Structure 1
């Protein structure tokens, strides 16, 4: 086992889902060459940025055909998810503590989206799945940025 594989495994063991975390890192070959937490943090924040933007686009498209209030709220909250992950990435060098905070806020925003859906009895499994993925990435980012602080 090389050092980067060990680094990924150490991080993933501390997240909300070891297996899903390993799968997320497997999807980006750069994680196999990360030699320290900072390099891995960049990968761990670029993955959710792309994912959150894709989810935001999905929700905004859905909103055109289904303009119910909870979906509007999810669109709003996903602006926050994207913004928080972006902010966390820019803070890696200057302020890892703020990066850690931002990464947690991204997960909170996805949670607010999920609450908005469930409180109105709206079931959109594709949004709920995306919220879960944000929660996973938030957990991964939290573990990694905590090592930088």
Structure 2
């Protein structure tokens, strides 16, 4: 009897320890992006320490705003060094204004309207997708902008997955 109780308790401890943190679970849900997700999110201690989906959603959206602004600033710098690229200008202004705006809008809706927050988190991914298409149409190959777009698209996906777990008001 004692052995059975000890075995059960040990199993519970092992299982609870084996299950990862919330952000790791979210990365698993991102499918093929799992490894890149873990690398990206690990860079923000607030995301790593999130205790529930409300906190995780908020920190990922804040991360999205920060990374969106950083990406936009990089592209604005590129506009100055390569003023002939209409695609880079479109990405740096219109499209990334939309990215940052969607992440901020989602943040603002988190507690009042989780469904709208979820929608806005998803819409934030439209900017990098359209930017990639504009660059391709112009035959502009910029690996740094491609990486920024890829990361923003992933953050949008993760914010969408996290906000999808929030209780609906």
Following superposition, the deviation at residue 2 of structure 1 comes to 8.1
Following superposition, the deviation at residue 121 of structure 1 comes to 0.7
Are residue 57 (structure 1) and residue 73 (structure 2) matched?
A: yes
Q: Within 5 A, what are the aligned runs for 1:32-51? A: 32-51=48-67
1:62 to 1:32, Cα distance in 2 relative to 1, 3 A: closer
Q: Which of residues 131, 143, 160 in structure 2 aligns to 1:142? A: 160
TM-score normalized by the length of structure 1: 0.92
Q: Which has the higher helix share?
A: 1
Indicate conservation of the 8 Å contact 2:27/2:158, yes or no: yes
Q: Which residue of 1 aligns with 2:14?
A: none
Cα deviation digits, residues 30-70 of structure 1 (max 9, x gap): 23332110011111111111111011111111111212111
Q: Which of residues 141, 145, 155 in structure 2 aligns to 1:123? A: 141
CA distance in 2, matches of 1:2, 1:89: 31
May I ask how many residue pairs the two structures share in their alignment?
A: 148
Unpaired runs of 5+ residues, structure 2, are 1-16
User: What root-mean-square deviation, in Å, do the aligned CA atoms of Structure 1 and Structure 2 show?
Assistant: 1.5
Q: Which residue of 1 aligns with 2:23?
A: 8
Are residue 74 (structure 1) and residue 102 (structure 2) matched?
A: no
TM-score normalized by the length of structure 2: 0.82
SS in 1 for 2:125: helix
Q: Which runs of 4+ in 1 moved over 6 A?
A: none
- Work out which of the two has the higher radius of gyration on C-alpha atoms and give 1 or 2: 2
Unpaired runs of 5+ residues, structure 1, are none
